[in-house]
Amino acid sequence: MNTMKQFLNFINGEFVATGKTFEKRAPVNNQVIGQVHEAGQAEVDAAVAAGRAALKGEWGKMSVVRRAELLHAVADEINRRFDEFLEAELADTGKPRSLASHIDIPRGAANFKIFADIVKNVPTESFQMTTPDGGTAISYAARSPLGVVGVICPWNLPLLLMTWKVGPALACGNVVIVKPSEETPATATLLGEVMNTVGIPKGVYQVVHGFGPNSAGEFLTKNPGVNGITFTGETRTGEAIMAAAAKGVRPVSFELGGKNAGVVFADADFEKAVAGITRSAFENCGQVCLGTERVYVQRPIFDKFVAALKAKAEALKVGPSHEPGVGLGPLISAEHKAKVLSYYAKAQAEGATVVTGGGVPEMPGEFANGHFVQPTIWTGLPETASVIREEIFGPCCHIAPFDTEEEAVALANATDYGLATTVWTQDLGTAHRMASAIDVGLVWINSWFLRDLRTAFGGAKASGIGREGGVHSLEFYTELKNVMIKL
């Protein structure tokens, strides 16, 4: 009997095996920990049909108050099964337990609660006007769900980023078909059990496993029964999905890559700035789209800052999820490790000074086969260097000095991406001017990855299309209809 963990598709309320499987390996030691059942065209089509049926059934007729109650129940059930979600996320990603237990899993639950509350409380607009014949007309707006929403997810924050889209989509009355990353199938599958337990009707939340091209991802995005697609991941993948969505002129919401700058002024609270950049460069092993792989530090504190960040990086304990005190887990896969290490090599070939790291740490026993890399800091490269231009998605950053505010703005903006920036200064004027001048969707002042779920989240330029978060999510997940009544 095969006792290996099986990750099944979740279609119309049932867990579905397909007979075509691929291996899921643990990032901490590269051992096979499960078999993922890949959905083919038939399974994806079945999910779309079930989703369409659910829109016409009990779910489509359900009051917003009842929907909100059910989504609160989903959040409560995630919290009740917190440890199972945590273990599933740790096995899939290898990230430190402290990180997943403070960020990934709590946000998985919070993403349902916030949007359940928002949809109940956000009004739509209404206008009264005088008509040409001297009469009166009243307009009011009404929101209806988009329909079947395809949710294509990455592997870096699997539960958090998936529920960030599923929460508002369901709150607005849509049905969702989730295509988790092939690297992280576990928590999306587990959420299927939660949906059944709390009584979410069949076909409302569904999961199809597989890859992108010629697999579940492409089958889902090309299916004309899918009314809109929301995606987080690489910019090039976004382009492929956008091409698929063009057929039928279906809307997309994209949160894509970044090459974010961290800017530290000489007047910043030094210790806080060093701690902040340590997080923004190395948290989640650098696998956060908001991370700062380009750091610019004002010249009077440059040397001191580089030395302090070096000390922080070298103090990070590299290791597997469950080891106490671990600050840096592995990268997600052997493939991704090869990509990150190729950038480590490129940096040296292009003439970087390696302040720290640049290679693979020595790991004991089975963990020697894990996808661990050293946290790495470079200086001395021209702005044209590959590691300054291209998204690496690893625990690394290049630090360069700057002299003036204008120079810092020019450096921060010299990228095709426009997702996020973090600015460290105690001067309110500098902070406001920088926030206004940097072309990104998200600016953090004296902070990083500090989230208020009511705010707009997303990127400018090649970093995305649209904003999600708070009422902004309603813009994507609903159609706004205007009704004008001539009195």
Ligand X SMILES: O=C(O)/C=C/C=C(\O)C(=O)O
Ligand Y SMILES: NC(=O)C1=CN([C@@H]2O[C@H](COP(=O)(O)OP(=O)(O)OC[C@H]3O[C@@H](n4cnc5c(N)ncnc54)[C@H](O)[C@@H]3O)[C@@H](O)[C@H]2O)C=CC1
Residues labelled as active-site residues:
255
C-beta closer to ligand X: residue 59 or 457: 457
Stretch of 152-160, 185-193, 379-387, 436-444 lying at the interface with ligand X (CB under 6 A): 152-160
Q: Which of 68, 74, 226, 289 binds ligand X (CB under 6 A)?
A: 289
CB closest to ligand X, residue no: 289
* CB within 8 Å of 105: residues ≥ 6 apart: 78, 82, 85, 86, 89, 159
User: What beta strand segments (E) does 168-309 contain?
Assistant: 175-179, 205-207, 228-232, 252-255, 260-264, 292-298
Minimum distance between the CB of residue 316 and ligand Y, rounded to whole angstroms?
21
The one among 11, 33, 90, 161 contacting ligand X by CB under 6 A: 161
Nearer to ligand Y by C-beta: 173 or 394?
Answer: 394
What is the smallest separation between the CB atom of 147 and ligand Y, expressed in angstroms?
19
- What stretches of 283-320 show up as alpha helix (H) in DSSP? 302-315
Residue 55 DSSP code: H
- Given a contact cutoff of 8 angstroms between Cβ atoms, the answer to whether 195 and 15 are in contact is no
Is 289 or 313 the residue whose CB approaches ligand X more closely?
289
Q: Which is nearer to ligand X, 203 or 441 (CB)?
A: 441
Residues engaged in binding ligand Y (CB under 6 A): 152-156, 179, 181-182, 211-213, 217-218, 221, 232-234, 237, 240-241, 256-257, 289, 336, 339, 391, 393
What b/e string do you get for 126-150 counting C-beta neighbours within 10 Å, with b at 16 or more?
eeeeeeeeeeeeeeeeebebbbbbb
Q: How far is the CB of 79 from ligand X (least distance, A)?
A: 18
| 8 Å CB contact between 157 and 234 | no
DSSP one-letter code for 300: G
Residue 240 contact partner, candidates ligand Y, ligand X, none, CB within 5 to 8 A by sort of partner: ligand Y
Indicate whether 104 belongs to the interface with ligand X (CB under 6 A). no
How many Cβ atoms sit within 10 Å of the Cβ of residue 41?
15
- Site membership for ligand X, residue 447 (CB under 6 A): no
442 is a contact residue toward ligand X (CB under 6 A): no
Listing DSSP states for 422-466 in one string gives: EEE-S-HHHHHHHHHHS--SEEEES-SS---TTS-B--EETTEES
312-341 binders of ligand X (CB under 6 A)? none
Of 27-35, 150-158, 165-173, 195-203, which part binds ligand X (CB under 6 A)? 150-158
Position 393 contacts ligand X (CB under 6 A): no
117 burial via Cβ count (<10 Å: 0-12, 13-18, 19+) = middle
Residue, CB closest to ligand Y? 212
Shortest Å, Cβ 54 to ligand X: 26
CB-CB contact of 269 with 424 (8 Å): yes
Going by C-alpha positions, the residue among 437, 434, 476, 433 that lies closest to residue 458 is 476
Nearer to ligand X, 54 or 288 (CB): 288
89 binds ligand X (CB under 6 A): no
Is 232 near ligand X (CB under 6 A)?
A: yes
Number of residues forming the site for ligand X (CB under 6 A): 12
Partner whose binding site includes residue 290, from ligand Y, ligand X, none (CB under 5 to 8 Å by kind): ligand X
Please report how close the Cβ of residue 146 comes to ligand X at its closest, in angstroms.
20
Which of 261, 400 has the CB closer to ligand X?
261
Window contacting ligand X (CB under 6 A); options: 2-10, 88-96, 264-272, 284-292? 284-292
Q: Nearer to ligand Y by C-beta: 213 or 429?
A: 213
Candidates 59-67, 238-246, 283-291, 311-319; binding stretch for ligand X (CB under 6 A): 283-291
What DSSP line would sit under 80-125, residue for residue?
A: HTHHHHHHHHHHHH---HHHIIIIIHHHHHHHHHHHHHHHHH----
Among 35, 156, 374, 415, binds ligand X (CB under 6 A): 156
Sequence-ordered list of residues with C-beta below 8 angstroms from that of 106, at least 6 positions apart, any chain: none
Question: Which C-beta is closer to ligand X: that of 290 or that of 328?
Answer: 290
Torsion of CA 318, 319, 321, 325, to 10 degrees: -60
Question: What is the rounded distance in angstroms from the CA atom of residue 468 to the CA atom of residue 168?
Answer: 9
Residue 290 binds to ligand X (criterion: CB under 6 A) = yes
Out of 55, 88, 119, 157, the residue judged to bind ligand X by CB under 6 A:
157
- Residue type (1 letter), 144: S
Strand pairing report for 260-264 and 376-379? unpaired
Helix axes 82-93, 64-80, angle to 10 degrees: 70
Interacting partner of 164 out of ligand Y, ligand X, none (Cβ under 5 to 8 A depending on kind): ligand X
For ligand X, the binding residues (CB under 6 A) are: 154, 156-157, 161, 164, 232, 255, 288-290, 451, 457
